[in-house]
Amino acid sequence: MSAFRLKGNTVANHIFLIAISLLMLYPVFWWVGASLKKTEEMKLATIWPQTPMWENYVKGWNFSTEFTFTHFFANTLTMELWNVVGGVLTSAVVAYGFARLHFKLRAFWFSILLLTLMLPGQVTVIPQYIMYNHFGLVDSYIPLILPHFFGGGAFFIFLLVQFIRGIPRDLDEAAKMDGASVYSIFSKVIFPLLKPSLVTVAIFTFIWSWDDFFGQVLYLSSVEKYTVGLALRMFIDQFEIQWGQLLAMSLLSIVPSVIVFFLAQKHFVEGISTTGLKG
């Protein structure tokens, strides 16, 4: 009887979870269906259109007379590649310094680093823009890429510091006995062990900078340098908005982030679950 009751509870739990999942996925289903609708069908309550307009994807991809979305995706992915490389490498270097090296005022500077987590991004927008404009870097990707080569972000540094503190110091001592320098210990001992956390940093960097519409609209003004987010805004600037094409392209715009997440999901979960729990 208890086995039957346990099986019944399991089935009920599964039904409940499936119902909640379908409820949460409803906006996605509507999004997919709306991307295949005509403009006049958008107000209808039906999710799936009677006649799917697959050409919305083709017309949306080629909506601009100058550039297709291939150009905008190439711009964005190139920028993201630099952001991820810079964020991962510099975050690891700075975190290693705080976690393993001894220098004057280390605790003070680490406290300052943590305090920057509480500083709203809006506070630094105007000074940063004035600085980049003074050096003639506005309307280029440098203001969007350069910050990732200076630590990658306080959150990522803190994440990696916690992970490095969980790595036994015996590994460092053994490497020192073999004549390894500080740089060798970092590159050959610590850095390879950071793989789960580095994947986490890479995923967050990719997704956050991909979604950084404010920064992109602030620093980029030439259409040939537009990212995917700015290209989507161009639909709104049209006299008659083609909502089906806009939703089709916005749906495609999230595909890279979804692919990156699922490809690295195993390491992402491992990096989150083990950070700060070792030692």
pLDDT digit string (tens) for the chain, length 279 residues: 455 565 667 778 888 889 998 888 888 888 899 899 888 888 877 888 888 889 999 999 998 878 899 999 999 999 999 999 999 999 999 999 999 988 899 999 999 988 888 888 888 899 999 999 999 999 999 999 999 998 878 889 998 998 898 888 888 888 888 888 889 999 988 998 888 889 889 999 999 999 899 999 999 999 999 999 999 988 887 767 888 899 999 999 999 988 888 887 776 666 555 544 444
Name the pTM for this structure. Answer: 0.84
Do 155 and 108 fall within a single domain?
A: yes
Do 101 and 225 fall within a single domain?
A: yes
Do 13 and 110 fall within a single domain?
A: no
Assess if residue 167 is contained within a domain.
yes
DSSP 119: S
Do 38 and 172 fall within a single domain?
A: no
Assess if residue 279 is contained within a domain.
no
Which CA distances in Å does 182 have to 34, 96, 100, 188? 56, 10, 10, 10
Q: Which of 55, 71, 92 is the last residue of a domain?
A: 55
Assess if residue 165 is contained within a domain.
yes
Which is it for the CA torsion 62, 63, 66, 68, positive or negative?
negative
Number of domains in the chain: 2
Q: Which of 55, 70, 90 is the last residue of a domain?
A: 55
Do 70 and 103 fall within a single domain?
A: yes
Assess if residue 154 is contained within a domain.
yes
Which CA distances in Å does 209 have to 83, 87, 138, 246? 8, 11, 17, 21
Q: Residue 268's closest CA among 186, 185, 206, 210?
A: 206
Are 230 and 216 within 8 A, CB to CB?
Answer: yes
Q: Structural domain of residue 202, as residue ranges? A: 60-274
Assess if residue 216 is contained within a domain.
yes
Do 162 and 38 fall within a single domain?
A: no
Do 46 and 68 fall within a single domain?
A: no
Give CA–CA dist 11/187, Å, rounded: 50
